[in-house]
Structure 1
Amino acid sequence: MSVWRIRDFHSDDLDGILHLWEELTALKIDPVYGLSEVLASCEKDQAVVAMHGDEVIGAAVGRAAHAQGWIVFLTTAQRWQNQGIGTAMLGALEKRMAPFGLAKLSALLPESASRVDAFVNRGFEVKKNLRYFERHIPVQREELRSLAELGGRMLPRDLWEGVGGMQREKELLERRLVMPLAKPEMADQYGVVPPKAVVLFGPPGTGKTTFAKAIASRLDWPFVEVFPSRLAADPKGLAGALRETFLKVSELEHVVVFIDEVEEIAAQRGGEPPSALQGVTNELLKIIPAFREQPGRLLVCATNFIRALDSALLRHGRFDYVVPIGLPDVAARHAIWERYIPAGVTGLVDLDVLVSSSEGFSPADVEYAARRASQEALERALFDSVDAAAPANPAGSAAPAGPTTEDYLSAIRSTRTTVSAQVAAEFLEDIERLARL
């Protein structure tokens, strides 16, 4: 073949490197560094190319970090293999990086990479018993300002596991929402369109906000909560502030947007004269289709009164799923009670009795009863006499400090449940009529 040569990278070489990348990935070789990283390093770090005439037939890209250097990309066009081009490019790249005073030059290769001659020829050694770990940072530096302006944040990564019980709801949300969004390439392979919007509905205090946050945590996406009451104070008006908020949201690569009590801005339209909120509902109905056109985002709306929502909002094409979130089941109540019982009395409190006695309680009701029992036990310990406060103890040892089973049962008996029998019955009717799973 004709003579090839090695030279420094020029910006005009980007098309050639793209061609080399496409050739590499066509061979089912997935480079360790992404294309955007490789192209950025070409411009900002160190890179050399192999040329045949005006054609780029190979590229080597490196990055220096203190005394450690990394080979970000190395490849040679298929028809130019076995001519020492890779070895020559590595040599030229190492020479370019010499002024950085590197003590070590390393390379990470995918398991599918079979051609390692260039590295061996340049004196690289294969390191055994190493494992490569990688984590993508969900919010890039340029997105931080937008996220801060929206009052958004990254949530702890363990919120999904922290939702105790509610297995049916968790499994449904995992299958319908989380997996298609977390694995979009696989979803596309099966013809599944990742969801863009979902409504969570159910009685007050049943954990809809908890589920919305858990979904963001599970996806490792930023969480932005939209508060209609705050937007209403904006000089632009509620509709204008809502529109501007979603424009700002579009600057984020990934995001879960949460609107609680969405009925405040999407109530049933009608009546004469028209309500001032009808314009806000109209604005939201226009925002959702535009939001759905953007990849990597999910709108979660929650409501305690799904019957109050405008019927146009729930039509197909706006929300993919309408998911009921009801009162916690036995396993969920057990997990919630467990969360509030102090470590000092764990094992001494009869959890099964508390769980059975609190049927019909929402998570908020359980929390209220648990905190009330703890408060009353503390007050008894502080203000009652020692003899009156100390429970009988046949063994003669000091009783552990903390609430007893009876304290919790007393608090349960005095707790007024959030969800009445009528509301619970209406919720079951709403599931039949409006749920879309």
Structure 2
Amino acid sequence: MSTWRVRDAHAHDLEGIVRLWERSRAAGIEPVYALAEVLTSASEDIAVVAAVGDQIVGAAVGRRAHNQAWVVFHGVDDSWHGQGVGPALLAALETRVAHAGPTTLSALVPTAQTHLEAFRDAGFAEKKAVRYLERRLPVQRAEMALLAELGGRVLPRGLWDGVAGMRREKDLIEKRLVLPLAEPSLAERYGVAPPRAVVMFGPPGTGKTTFAKAIASRLEWSFVEVFPSRLAADPAGLAGALRDTFHRIAELEHAVVLIDEVEEIASHRRGDPPSPLQGVTNELLKIIPAFRERPDRLLVCATNFIRSLDSAFLRHGRFDYVIPIGLPDAEARRAIWTRFIPPAAASAVDSDALVHASEGFTPADIEFAARRASQAALEAAVRTGIAGHGDDAGGGAGTGPTAGVGPTTGDYLAAIAATRATVSEDVAAEFAEDTEGFGRV
């Protein structure tokens, strides 16, 4: 049998490390660290390989973390077990780690792994009274630079729960979009194809962008918003910039992509000669099918004017669902108001009056009125030199038990009266017609 030797890993050795990692999975042993983590550490931290000529028969990859280092991967080709390759790799890894300063070299191995002699021979002691907990970070380090170039980000967890009210829309989106995307194996078992692209339409300020962000937060996927107006300044032109942007998005592992005000680039194609934007619309119509071929991504196109979209853009096969996002009903308005009324003042505020007075308001309208009431109450308290207002409906100053707790019912009603609703009655009526004519859920 040929002689093996241990050496530092080089870039061309990564293929051999991938092969060893994949063989461990094929043997029914799920590695503790994902392949992306192993390859990142092999490229940027410490890695050694056992080679026979050009063939990689073993590898050990380490990662330094302050005064501790971890064995991220240790694998030996089955035909080379018992030849001393495993302990030699760990010893070489330890030597290289020691120069970096860590005082401990630790290893996590799957419970199904039986070849532990290499670790024991290398001086590792098994710690019994230890529980291993982990959380997989949704976006790996190698993706962060690309995400930053695209102007995307990883949104904080909890945005989904933060969407107040809108129960009908949330239930629909939870069932149609989130569930199949979050549980693809379960969806496949029932013959459900996870959605790849959807349109959300409705009056301005009803929360279409908020829902797109909440979906990304709920799935823990990267969020990228594409702004046609910004792409228009690209030297390649809007169509070329759009194509290049989606090529780069394809490199992300998971992503929710939002094109807001999509009517800017997907309006009805008409006119002879064709308008300059027709080429952009044609490009977008080509991009969507290619986007749909990749799993673990969702395109959300949002519009306030669904009637203006090109008929070819909305046809079956491009978008799985066309979802109306309308004005919040009474229950939703109550939930939204609850978010903005300070807890100390909540018991003194007549929420029924606020819900009734804000009928026809969008979530954005309610937020504006709530903040306006809070600001007015604060200014009045400072101006009059008292802690706050009383709880009378007129919003005058008071000295009773509720004085000083914050805005009153009167403050909120005054703010509502001074707030112009974003959506007029005519627009609301048009939306009801569009829901019947365009909605596809």
Q: Which residue of 2 aligns with 1:29?
A: 29
Q: In the alignment, is residue 408 of structure 1 matched against residue 412 of structure 2?
A: yes
Change over 3 Å in CA distance of 1:237–1:69 after alignment to 2: closer
Q: 2:399, 2:417 → 1: CA distance?
A: 30
The code of the aligned residue for 2:107 comes to: A
**Are the equivalent residues in 2 in contact too, given 1:9–1:42 (CA < 8 A)?**
no
Change over 3 Å in CA distance of 1:282–1:18 after alignment to 2: closer
Q: CA deviation at 1:174?
A: 2.9
The code of the aligned residue for 1:172 comes to: L
How do residues 249-264 of structure 1 correspond to structure 2 at under 5 angstroms? 249-264=249-264
Could you tell me which runs of 5 or more consecutive residues in structure 1 were left unpaired when the two chains were aligned: none
- 419, 436, 441: which one pairs with 1:432? 436
Q: Which residue of 2 aligns with 1:106?
A: 106
CA RMSD of superposed structures (Å): 3.7
Q: In the alignment, is residue 335 of structure 1 matched against residue 335 of structure 2?
A: yes
How do residues 154-173 of structure 1 correspond to structure 2 at under 5 angstroms? 154-173=154-173
Q: Which residue of 2 aligns with 1:70?
A: 70
The code of the aligned residue for 1:71 comes to: V
Q: CA deviation at 1:165?
A: 2.0
Q: 2:91, 2:391 → 1: CA distance?
A: 81
Change over 3 Å in CA distance of 1:425–1:138 after alignment to 2: same
Secondary structure, counterpart of 1:200 in structure 2: strand
Q: 1:406, 1:314 → 2: CA distance?
A: 46
Could you tell me which runs of 5 or more consecutive residues in structure 2 were left unpaired when the two chains were aligned: none
Q: Which residue of 2 aligns with 1:368?
A: 368
The code of the aligned residue for 1:112 comes to: A
Q: Which residue of 1 aligns with 2:50?
A: 49
Identity rate, percent: 60
Q: CA deviation at 1:395?
A: 8.2
Q: 1:190, 1:179 → 2: CA distance?
A: 12
TM-score by length of 1: 0.82
Q: How many residues of Structure 1 are paired with residues of Structure 2 in the alignment?
A: 433
Q: CA deviation at 1:193?
A: 4.1
Q: In the alignment, is residue 205 of structure 1 matched against residue 205 of structure 2?
A: yes
How do residues 5-404 of structure 1 correspond to structure 2 at under 5 angstroms? 7-8=6-7, 17-39=17-39, 41-42=41-42, 45-49=46-50, 58-78=58-78, 86-87=86-87, 89-91=89-91, 93-95=93-95, 97-100=97-100, 102-121=102-121, 122-136=123-137, 138=139, 140-141=141-142, 143-144=144-145, 146-184=146-184, 192-232=192-232, 237-272=237-272, 274-381=274-381, 396-397=400-401, 399-404=403-408
Deviation digits for residues 8-57 of structure 1 (CA, Å, limit 9, x no counterpart): 36667666544443332123211112234435555662324386x99765
Secondary structure, counterpart of 2:71 in structure 1: strand
Change over 3 Å in CA distance of 1:396–1:140 after alignment to 2: closer
**Are the equivalent residues in 2 in contact too, given 1:6–1:89 (CA < 8 A)?**
no
Q: CA deviation at 1:210?
A: 0.8
**Are the equivalent residues in 1 in contact too, given 2:6–2:49 (CA < 8 A)?**
yes
Q: CA deviation at 1:322?
A: 1.1
TM-score by length of 2: 0.81
Q: 1:86, 1:333 → 2: CA distance?
A: 64
Deviation digits for residues 190-230 of structure 1 (CA, Å, limit 9, x no counterpart): 65544322110112221111111212222333333233344
Deviation digits for residues 222-268 of structure 1 (CA, Å, limit 9, x no counterpart): 33323334444556554444344434544544433222221222112
**Are the equivalent residues in 1 in contact too, given 2:46–2:93 (CA < 8 A)?**
no
Secondary structure, counterpart of 2:266 in structure 1: coil
The code of the aligned residue for 1:345 comes to: A
**Are the equivalent residues in 2 in contact too, given 1:6–1:88 (CA < 8 A)?**
no
Q: 1:103, 1:357 → 2: CA distance?
A: 66
Q: 1:109, 1:206 → 2: CA distance?
A: 49
**Are the equivalent residues in 1 in contact too, given 2:48–2:89 (CA < 8 A)?**
no
Answer with 417-426 or 99-108: which moved more.
Answer: 417-426
